[in-house]
Amino acid sequence: MRSEFYLEGLSCASCAEKISRRLSEQPNINSASLSFATKKLILHSDDPVATELIEQIAGGIEPGIKLVSAEDHAHAHEESSPHDLWRILGAILLYGLSFVVTQYSVPLLLAAYILVGYDVLWRAITNIRRGQVFDENFLMTIATLGAFAIREFPEGVTVMLFYQIGEYFQDRAVDHSRRSIASMMNLRVEKVRLKDGEQTREIAPEAVEIGDRILILPGEKVALDGEVISGQSHMMTANITGESVPRFVKQGSELLGGFVNGEGTIEMAVTRVYAESTVAKILELVENAANKKAQTEQFITRFARIYTPIVVAIAAAMAIFMPLILSQPFNTWFYRALVFLVI
């Protein structure tokens, strides 16, 4: 059986892959796919999966995750918080002041570092406690704290600042992608007015058959593809065609699912069942695109599990053995090892 959930609070792409992998390892789950872009979790299992198990696994990897059913998610709206931007701007201000008020440069740089990087440090410590050592939080922590160890405070703060700025723009891009996908998902109509003689009754679009007549009132979305048999109106087609000018429709005009009716009442004969309708095909394409992206993210994260320990080992070897082999100062090669870690 197939189950769909949404993981609200998911903010880590690598965590999404870890959650998916841990769920797939469960004996009663055949496969699990979690898209970071949509936060949508798809499970295939022989028996229903306990939500407590999903929340336990997801919360153990990224605390604060809330499991929401697909039905409840349709009515939920997540707003992005601007606090990360203010943290970055505050850290930039402190960083700039450190070059002006030079007698307090070190305290100002440390304050800027804590302001912009405390969440990275906390995630690194938390992951180490759970045995998840080698990730981007660990790399950023040892690189920046290593810079502080050799008293290169500006470099340490600069690295953390650039990392957090990159994370901020990545989050903005992901949020924009999620809003775009959510707007596409809103094309679906839950109920249609099926005309049965002189009476009308509301049914699901999936239950409508070819040739059935449905009534579309002003302001409503067209749920299925069909042909106008009575009435006339202007249709907003931007959701499907991108055209900003309303299209005038009358008897004999073709309608596609996703159009929004204007001022008139339309009676339409259905020409395609829901599974073959324009709306269903668009939603299928969106979901498949998100799942393919999730598979790419999973490959990158699996690669990082091998790549990251190798990079750390090479950096450690540079810092420890190169000064001994070349009889050069330890600080020089320690600094180069940190540069290697960041790059």
pLDDT digits (tens, 9 = 90+) for 176-210: 777 776 676 677 788 999 998 888 899 999 999 99
Please say whether the beta carbons of 219 and 266 come within 8 A: no
CA distance readout (Å), 192 to 265, 313, 338 = 14, 62, 62
CA distance readout (Å), 69 to 47, 75, 288 = 17, 11, 20
**Neighbour count for residue 26 (Cβ, 10 Å):** 15
Residue 66: per-residue pLDDT? 84
Q: What is the radius of gyration, based on Cα positions, of the chain?
A: 27
CA dihedral 108, 114, 117, 122 (to 10 degrees): 170
The three-state secondary structure class of 80 is: coil
- pLDDT over 60 (residue 302): yes
Residues 67 and 55: their CA atoms lie apart, in Å, by: 6
- pLDDT over 70 (residue 216): yes
Residues 320 and 275: their CA atoms lie apart, in Å, by: 63
Give the chain's end-to-end CA distance (angstroms, integer).
Answer: 45
- pLDDT over 60 (residue 92): yes
- Across 144-153, 184-193, 255-264, least confident range: 184-193
Q: Which tokens hold the place of 245?
A: 């000018």
Mean pLDDT of the region 64-70: 77
- pLDDT over 90 (residue 46): no
Which domains, from first to last, does the chain contain?
A: 2-73 (3.30.70.100), 83-184+283-342 (no CATH), 192-276 (2.70.150.10)
CA dihedral 277, 278, 282, 287 (to 10 degrees): -10
DSSP class of residue 221 equals B
The phi and psi torsions of 299 (rounded to 5 degrees) equal -65, -45
Among candidate residues 11, 341, 17, the one with its CA nearest the CA of residue 170: 11
pTM to 2 decimals? 0.65
Residue 213: per-residue pLDDT? 94
- Burial (CB < 10 A; 0-12, 13-18, 19+), residue 324, is exposed
Q: What is the pLDDT of residues 242-257, one digit of tens each?
A: 888 999 999 999 999 8
Residue 20: per-residue pLDDT? 84
Residue 295: per-residue pLDDT? 58
Higher pLDDT among residues 224 and 137, named by residue: 224
Q: Which tokens hold the place of 152?
A: 């290169």
Which distant-in-sequence residues (6+ apart) come within 8 Å of 285 by Cβ? Answer: none
